[in-house]
Amino acid sequence: MMYIVVGLFAMAGALLRDGIGQVTLNWWSGSFPVATLVINIIGCFVLGWFTNHIKKLSQVHPYIKTGVGTGLIGSFTTFSTFSVETIRLFESGHLLMGIVYLLTSYFGGWLFAFLGVKLGDHLIYKRQEVVK
């Protein structure tokens, strides 16, 4: 049953990723991979929040926790596309753009994962305060 749940969430994550990619094409036509950067930054934030808040709540079924974390967010974000796009930037002579993409992805991903974790901490703290 877990495989089915993860698979269904993974389909949703892949469709969300494709949707954001299509929307991005409507307003961005440059060689910088904005869609993948936005998707991965959002994914870092949501996974940070999710793993630090929702997974700690006992009311959420373990299938849903795994489905969202592994299936939805795992298929929504894309390290392989990021890697290939970085190589393409370097190969096409856009060295500075490639470096900016690498650094923005790495530090932006880390920052937004950190912010997501902190939001999760804050929400858990608020929940505990309400219960007291």
Q: How many CB atoms lie within 10 A of CB 57?
A: 11
Smallest Cα–Cα separation from 100: which of 115, 85, 116, 81?
Answer: 85
More confident call, 128 vs 103: 103
- Provide the pLDDT confidence category of residue 125 given band limits of 50, 70 and 90: confident
Residue in the structure block whose two tokens are 């991979």: 33
Q: How many CB atoms lie within 10 A of CB 120?
A: 19
Least confident of 20-24, 110-114, 120-124: 120-124
Q: How many CB atoms lie within 10 A of CB 2?
A: 12
pTM value is 0.88
**3-class SS of residue 63:** helix
Tens of pLDDT, residues 15-33:
999 999 999 999 998 899 9
The predicted pLDDT at position 41 comes to: 97
The predicted pLDDT at position 52 comes to: 84
The predicted pLDDT at position 129 comes to: 78
The predicted pLDDT at position 98 comes to: 97
- Rounded to 5°, the CA angle 107-109-86 comes to 80
Tens of pLDDT, residues 48-99:
999 888 867 778 888 998 999 999 999 999 999 999 999 999 999 999 999 9
Residue in the structure block whose two tokens are 């500075």: 96
